[in-house]
Amino acid sequence: MTDKIQTRFKRVETKYIVRTDQYEALLEDLKVYLKEDDYPTSTISNIYFDTPDFDVIKDALAKKNMREKIRMRSYFANPSEDCQAFLEVKQKDQKGVGHKVRLVSNPKSINLLLCQGYSDESISDPNLLTEIHALRDRYPGLAPRVYIYYDRYSLKQKKKIGDKVRVTFDKNLRYRDTDVSLSSGTDGKPLLEPNQMVMEIKASADKPEWLKEILAKHGLRKMKFSKYSCAFHKSQGLDYYPQPRRKKESVGA
């Protein structure tokens, strides 16, 4: 099963904050070119791993070490310790292109690997293991630090459209920094205002003209927003708001 699942990704991601009163009209325009994904609706639970002093996210904010983020993700509505889960390491190169390495296992095994360095038969890719152990050496004391949940709706390009474009809408975003476990429910504090959602555009190249026209029509601007960075700031009692991205900033941060 694992060799059928894509484990390495390279793409540009841009984020937009969409109001709920914009959503239906925007979706209507997008569906001229896009269609629902094979599994268009999903519930996504994430555990972000970090050190006791949050060194991973602090380095990412300082643009060090390829701005890494280390997370475990489940698509089950009620995850258990032995359900399918993904371990993902997200990085960005100097051009702002996102790289993601992913392996599939279960929450128990992923926690054991990241927190204690042990791997079982469900985690066998030697190249991925080498990268994980390098992260553990750079960030001693990795442990589950923040839980983030949201509901996702996904679109992909129609077959007759040649552009490699995927668009997702994330709603009901919430986080918690206590009882950080996939099996502890989905309760948490809100990441955004009640009338806001996150739209992410994932592409392998520059956006096609039709997409640029739709974004301009609805007055949408690229935003600097990270779910984990937002949760980290809020957990520390610090303000964090989506900010318009300056033109010379790299995309997809």
With both helix axes pointing from N to C terminus, report the angle between 107-116 and 126-138 in degrees, rounded to the nearest 10. 50
User: For residue 43, which of 7, 86, 78, 84 has the smallest C-alpha distance?
Assistant: 78
Taking the C-alpha atoms of residue 227 and residue 45, their distance in angstroms, rounded to an integer, is 12
Taking the C-alpha atoms of residue 220 and residue 17, their distance in angstroms, rounded to an integer, is 8
Encoding tokens for residue 53?
Answer: 């002093």
Encoding tokens for residue 19?
Answer: 């109001």
- Write down all domains in the chain, each with its CATH number in brackets: 2-244 (3.20.100.30)
* Residue 2 pLDDT grade (very low, low, confident, very high; cuts 50, 70, 90): very low
Residue 202 has pLDDT above 50, yes or no: yes
Residue 66 has pLDDT above 90, yes or no: no
Residue 252 has pLDDT above 50, yes or no: no
Residue 250 has pLDDT above 60, yes or no: no
Measured at the alpha carbon of residue 216, what is the angle toward residues 214 and 218, in degrees to the nearest 5?
A: 70
% of the chain beyond a pLDDT of 70: 87
User: For residue 92, which of 208, 242, 224, 192 has the smallest C-alpha distance?
Assistant: 224
Taking the C-alpha atoms of residue 165 and residue 149, their distance in angstroms, rounded to an integer, is 24
Taking the C-alpha atoms of residue 249 and residue 172, their distance in angstroms, rounded to an integer, is 28
Query: pLDDT tens digits, residue range 28-64?
Result: 999 999 999 999 999 999 999 999 999 999 999 998 8
Q: Which helix (H) or strand (E) holds 111?
A: helix 107-116
Whole-number Cα distances in Å, 185 to 24, 46, 59, 77, 190: 30, 12, 29, 9, 15
Instruction: Over range 200-228, report the average pLDDT.
Output: 91
pTM over 0.85: yes
Supply the mean pLDDT for the chain: 88
The answer to whether the beta carbons of residues 136 and 117 sit under 8 Å apart is: yes
Contacts of 144 (CB under 8 A, 6+ apart): 47, 48, 49, 72, 111, 180, 181
Query: pLDDT tens digits, residue range 105-132?
Result: 999 999 999 999 999 988 888 888 888 9
